[in-house]
C-alpha cells in the first residue's frame, strides 16, 4: 500500500481489519443504517505523546500516554505529516481550515465512524467488548489524567483503549444540520462514567476545539470512488445538513459544545 517507507514514526503499530457490516444509530432522526465496510488498517493503540512529538512540535512529558488536548484540525495535520514522514501519499487537502479527504490516497488518516465502531466492537453486539473494569480507563478507576496505552485488555481485534482513556477523533461530521462543522469523537475518556464509555456513543466538537481527554487513533486504506468511503459520503453530509427536524432529548442547542 503506497510507496516504500524510508523511515517510520516510532512504532505506529497497525492492525488489518477484514471487511464486514456494522449498524449505526442516528439519535436525532431515530434511524439506523447498516454500512458495508471494506478491509482497512487501524492503529493498535491511540497515538502517543512520543509519536506526536516526533512529527509535530508538541512536548512529550509522558511518552506512553495517549496524545490528548488535540483539536480535530491538529489531528488531521498530524496524519498528513506522519504520511509524509513515511513516504506515503497524504490524504487531506487544505483550503484554509476547510479540509477535504482524497479517498484514493494511501496515507494515514482518521477512521470514519463506521470503521471506528466496527473495529471497536470486534464482533460484539453489546455496549462493551469486555467488562469496563478490565478493558477501559474510566472514572471508576479514580484517575485524573490519561493512562499509558495498553494497560487494559484488548478487544478481539487486538486493539487497546478503544473504550475509555481518551476519546478519539473521527473524520465524520457530528450533525451538520444542528452543529455545522462539528466533528465526531468516539470511545469515552478517563473521566467518563459507564454510560458514556460505550461502543455506540458519539460526541463531537468544533474543528479547533480541544480537551484533555480527546486524542486520536490513525487508520489507513484507499478507495476507488471519490467523495465517499466506509460509510461516509460528501453527498450524505449535504443532505444531512438540509434536514430540519427535532433535537433528541439531551442534545444541546445549535453551535454549543456537542458533549
- pLDDT per position as a tens digit, 59-74: 899 999 999 999 999 9
Q: Is residue 43 part of a domain?
A: yes
Q: Is residue 24 part of a domain?
A: yes
Looking at residue 10, its pLDDT comes to: 72
Owning domain of residue 36: 14-225+237-241
Q: Is residue 256 part of a domain?
A: no
Q: Is residue 8 part of a domain?
A: no
The structural domain count of the chain equals 1
Q: Is residue 1 part of a domain?
A: no
- pLDDT per position as a tens digit, 84-114: 999 999 999 999 889 999 999 999 999 999 9
Furthest-apart CA pair in the chain: how many Å?
A: 52
- CATH number of the domain at 101, please: 3.90.1580.10
Q: Is residue 190 part of a domain?
A: yes
Looking at residue 247, its pLDDT comes to: 64
Pairing between strand 167-173 and 214-215? parallel
Q: Is residue 4 part of a domain?
A: no
In the block, cell 496524545 appears at 67
Q: Is residue 207 part of a domain?
A: yes
- Model's pTM, two decimal places? 0.91
Three cell numbers, residue 55:
512529527
In the block, cell 516504500 appears at 4
Q: What is the mean pLDDT of each run of 10 residues along the chain (259 residues)?
A: 50 96 82 94 98 89 96 98 95 95 97 98 92 97 97 97 98 93 97 95 95 97 96 93 68 50
Amino acid at each position: 500500500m503506497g510507496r516504500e517507507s524510508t523511515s517510520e514514526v516510532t512504532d505506529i503499530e497497525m492492525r488489518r481489519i477484514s471487511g464486514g457490516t456494522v449498524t449505526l444509530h442516528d439519535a436525532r432522526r431515530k434511524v439506523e443504517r447498516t454500512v458495508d465496510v471494506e478491509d482497512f488498517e487501524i492503529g493498535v493503540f491511540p497515538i502517543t505523546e512520543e509519536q506526536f512529538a516526533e512529527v509535530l512540535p508538541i512536548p512529550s512529558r509522558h511518552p506512553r500516554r495517549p496524545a490528548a488536548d488535540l483539536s480535530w484540525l491538529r489531528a488531521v495535520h498530524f496524519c498528513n505529516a506522519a504520511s509524509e514522514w513515511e513516504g506515503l501519499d497524504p490524504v487531506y487537502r487544505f483550503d484554509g481550515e476547510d479540509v477535504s479527504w482524497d479517498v484514493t490516497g494511501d496515507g494515514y488518516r482518521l477512521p470514519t465512524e463506521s470503521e471506528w465502531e466496527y473495529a471497536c466492537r470486534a464482533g460484539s453486539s453489546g455496549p462493551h467488548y469486555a467488562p469496563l473494569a478490565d478493558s477501559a480507563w474510566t472514572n471508576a478507576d479514580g484517575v485524573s489524567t490519561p493512562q499509558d496505552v495498553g494497560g487494559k485488555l484488548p478487544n478481539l481485534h487486538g486493539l487497546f483503549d478503544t473504550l475509555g482513556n481518551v476519546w478519539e477523533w473521527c473524520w465524520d461530521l457530528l450533525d451538520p444540520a444542528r452543529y455545522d462543522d462539528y466533528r465526531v469523537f468516539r470511545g469515552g475518556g478517563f473521566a467518563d462514567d459507564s454510560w458514556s464509555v460505550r461502543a455506540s456513543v458519539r460526541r463531537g466538537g468544533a474543528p479547533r476545539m480541544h480537551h484533555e481527554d480527546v486524542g486520536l487513533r490513525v487508520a489507513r486504506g484507499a478507495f476507488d470512488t471519490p467523495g465517499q468511503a466506509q460509510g461516509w459520503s460528501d453527498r450524505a453530509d449535504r443532505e444531512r445538513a438540509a434536514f430540519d427536524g427535532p433535537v433528541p432529548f439531551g442534545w444541546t442547542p445549535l453551535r454549543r459544545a456537542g458533549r
